Amino acid sequence: MRVLVVEDDDNLRIALDVSLRSAGFAVDAVGDLPVADEALFVNAYDCVVFDRMLPSGDSLGYVQHRRRSGWLVPVLFLTARDSTADRVAGLQLGGDYLVKPFEMAELVARVRSLCRLSPAPRTRPAVLRRGDVELDAGTREVRRAGVLLTLAPKEFLVLERLMAAAGAPVPRKELIEHAWDRMADPDSNVLEVVVRQLRRKLREQTLIETVRGVGYRFAG
């Protein structure tokens, strides 16, 4: 799941970035609405976390404007304003509202819940089954022949994208974009390392095939 954080306070932005990455999200973090607008044009996100008041204006108005053009991505507003009217305004825009100061554990839980409402995952089932491998996107659990596997967050995301392709090859670039973020180096070997770990944990090398010149394919 990919999240955009829009927060002008450097310390808080870094803390949000670190906490969400540690929870398994791919994160892009920016400091103001114009940069967020560019990121939203280029990338698809499952959730956007907005600080309410930013240098270029109130993010509530920005989201209202995008909603009028059909933008449906769930949002979470962070703010010190805790009036009922403020909370209702956030909820009416298809999002959530978290009052500062807050616990990072609660923010991660809110973001995970909102990501499940994202329009993107609705194009595929919550539970993917290929052969004797079962992946539950809701609980983030993977089983093979009924046995629960322990996967790292990146391993889960790569396997999820491969299984969702229903046997079709998935380009290397697409896997990196799904599991990492725009700061990931496309020339690094991070994907190869994750695929090697997945093959080991699935206990069968041929379940994930290398498609030369393209990427990988789940053959289960």
Q: What is the DSSP string of the chain?
A: -EEEEE-S-HHHHHHHHHHHHHTT-EEEEESSHHHHHHHHHH---SEEEEESEETTEEHHHHHHHHHHTT----EEEEES---HHHHHHHHHTTEEEEESS--HHHHHHHHHHHHTT-TGGGGS-SEEEETTEEEETTTTEEEETTEEE---HHHHHHHHHHHHTTTS-EEHHHHHHHHS-TTS-TTSSHHHHHHHHHHHHHT-GGGEEEETTTEEEE--
The confidence score (pLDDT) of residue 123 equals 44
Look at 62 and 178; give whichever has higher pLDDT.
62
- In 3D space, the residue among 30, 25, 41, 38 whose CA is nearest the CA of residue 6 turns out to be 30
- Joined together, the tokens standing for residue 210 give 């290398």
**pLDDT reading at 106 higher than 90:** yes
As assigned by CATH, the class of the 2-121 domain is alpha beta
Alpha-carbon gap, residue 217 to 159, rounded angstroms: 10
pLDDT, tens digit (0-9, with 9 covering 90-100), for 85-99: 766 766 666 678 888
- Please report, for the chain, the start and end positions of each structural domain, with discontinuous segments joined by +: 2-121, 124-218
Please state whether the predicted TM-score (pTM) of the whole model is above 0.85: no
The confidence score (pLDDT) of residue 177 equals 76
Q: Which CATH number fits domain 124-218: 1.10.30.50, 1.20.140.10, 3.10.129.10, 1.10.10.10?
A: 1.10.10.10
